[in-house]
Structure 1
């Protein structure tokens, strides 16, 4: 009996020791877990704080860099000195690039010499291709070849040139834009001449380009990009030229008369568009030097539709088609009187 009591006592003592050990172990584990959780929370908070600080610093650097780049690009691109970047700046930059300005006589002669005798070519130069009897179908063939050639040139060079980045973009963007729009202006001049427009004065005089020329080219680029009313305004210009409107009246209409409000709204549209594209990195991906091979592809895709819109507009005007019937929208521009008649308000 005594031995049994001793055994029971030992068993009870062992049980108590087991419970005590188990409780102690659990407390130790719980303490260690709590300690680990505390450390993990501290580490998480430290990582979060550090990450936030890095992000804030990086954002500040990016913002500072963007501001510097924006300012640098603005300073370079504001070539007319009016304090803003607009399509006139781009046209002036592009026209200064060698090879952008097209001489009408030389172009028409080189285009037609393979297919027409000298007397037809001389008539086309003296008047226009339609007057010389060159059919609309034939003119369209030449126009398509022009678009194809200029498109291949701009996209080919896009793919061939290098791809600088970072702050180098401030130096390359103006050249890229001048090149891209330079080829558009080359195509524009050629299409204008094929469809009956007289010589466009693209010569620089005393570091300035003729305002009338800049405004005609602005309208053409507006047609290319689908700017509202640019198409009607350009057709009205063609109608006036086909009707023999005096040069001074035409100049007045383009610079401060009936056509000028459309030129101004077109320039404003381009100002918004270009500000977004230049300073949000569009030209980094879509323009020749910066975009590299990718830029070549995007340029190739975007160039032809723009030129096709201008071609479609020029195909049926009084200059290219003697049987052209002016629309109400065209007639809304009374260039000879120097006023916009009432129905222009509904455009």
Structure 2
């Protein structure tokens, strides 16, 4: 009889523990699900990141602040109005500033990750979304800065009726895809840069990003991140059940992983027609074929 009661008690405890875990997981999904589709996906992460104060970068202000250490005002204005390459800013200086950007953002995000990893218990559900948002927020901030250094025009990070422009989401998805080495992301970003350098109309490029030739690559990257995000979030959920260790490990892993991701994006941006008019990239053609989404440039 005692053995039977013991089994019932054990079963009850297990059931309660599972119920509490499921409830915490639901809380995390609800906190992260910014687009309301009931899932954790890359769009949620980008939206959360961009809503963090200081993550959105104003291109003009950033370029002026960085370039004023090395160049006169006339050169800076040329870089702002066109591109740093157009202003004849040396590749060495651009690469140097890019390396400083990566190191600065790396130091910021790793410190925050360690701090956010410390709470345990009931605080877990609250800190997981913050941890994820901060990490990818700083990655998005680094991506914007690198894009502007290597010739991209300002992307629209303003919210319209509580939503970000789909073109913005897709450009940043491409950048994250390059950072994580997702197949096709590097070529798609180079194609986009070459299109911009060749003067392809903005509306055509937007179409390529949202339903044309580049869009299938964006969808492929999104699928990759949807799986990765779910694994990362819930691996973090269990890791943070051991509070202090979770914080230390989280900060260390973040510090090690952040730089290689940013370096991949920098390498991709270095050799396009936007950053180097003499670049021997895919081709001098923008290679944007709007009316056939399956005819992606090879």
Are the equivalent residues in 2 in contact too, given 1:130–1:321 (CA < 8 A)? yes
Provide Cα deviations, 1:124-179, integer angstroms capped at 9, x if missing partner: 10111111111212111010000000001111233345722233222221111111
Are the equivalent residues in 2 in contact too, given 1:173–1:283 (CA < 8 A)? no
Are the equivalent residues in 1 in contact too, given 2:215–2:293 (CA < 8 A)? no
Are the equivalent residues in 1 in contact too, given 2:32–2:45 (CA < 8 A)? yes
1:105 aligns with 2:37: no
- Unaligned ranges ≥5, structure 2: none
What's 1:141 paired with? 96
Are the equivalent residues in 2 in contact too, given 1:211–1:255 (CA < 8 A)? yes
What's 1:235 paired with? 190
1:127 aligns with 2:82: yes
Give TM-score scaled by structure 1 length: 0.78
What's 1:335 paired with? 288
Deviation at 1:290, TM superposition (A): 9.5
Change (3 A) 1:309 1:52: farther
What's 1:269 paired with? 224
Bigger shift: residues 94-103 or 168-177: 168-177
What's 1:293 paired with? 248
What's 2:173 paired with? 218
CA distance in 1, matches of 2:238, 2:210: 30
CA distance in 2, matches of 1:226, 1:241: 23
Are the equivalent residues in 1 in contact too, given 2:116–2:130 (CA < 8 A)? no
CA distance in 2, matches of 1:206, 1:319: 32
Are the equivalent residues in 2 in contact too, given 1:283–1:290 (CA < 8 A)? no
CA distance in 2, matches of 1:84, 1:59: 26
What's 2:42 paired with? 87
What's 1:205 paired with? 160
Deviation at 1:60, TM superposition (A): 2.8
What's 2:208 paired with? 253
Change (3 A) 1:289 1:236: farther
Question: Which of 109, 114, 121 is matched with 1:159 structurally?
Answer: 114
Are the equivalent residues in 1 in contact too, given 2:34–2:44 (CA < 8 A)? yes
Provide Cα deviations, 1:270-314, integer angstroms capped at 9, x if missing partner: 0111111212336846xx999423322111111101101111111
What's 2:25 paired with? 70
Q: Number of aligned pairs?
A: 296
CA distance in 2, matches of 1:167, 1:63: 15
Q: Secondary structure of 1:199's partner? A: coil
Deviation at 1:315, TM superposition (A): 0.7
Q: Which has the higher helix share?
A: 1
- Unaligned ranges ≥5, structure 1: 1-42
Q: Which of structures 1 and 2 has the bigger CA Rg?
A: 1
Q: Which structure would you say has the larger RCO, counting Cα contacts within 8 Å and 6 or more residues apart?
A: 2
What's 2:123 paired with? 168
Change (3 A) 1:320 1:290: farther
Q: Secondary structure of 2:27's partner? A: helix
Q: Secondary structure of 2:93's partner? A: helix
Bigger shift: residues 167-176 or 196-205: 167-176
Are the equivalent residues in 1 in contact too, given 2:113–2:250 (CA < 8 A)? yes
Superposition CA RMSD, Å:
2.6
Deviation at 1:85, TM superposition (A): 1.2
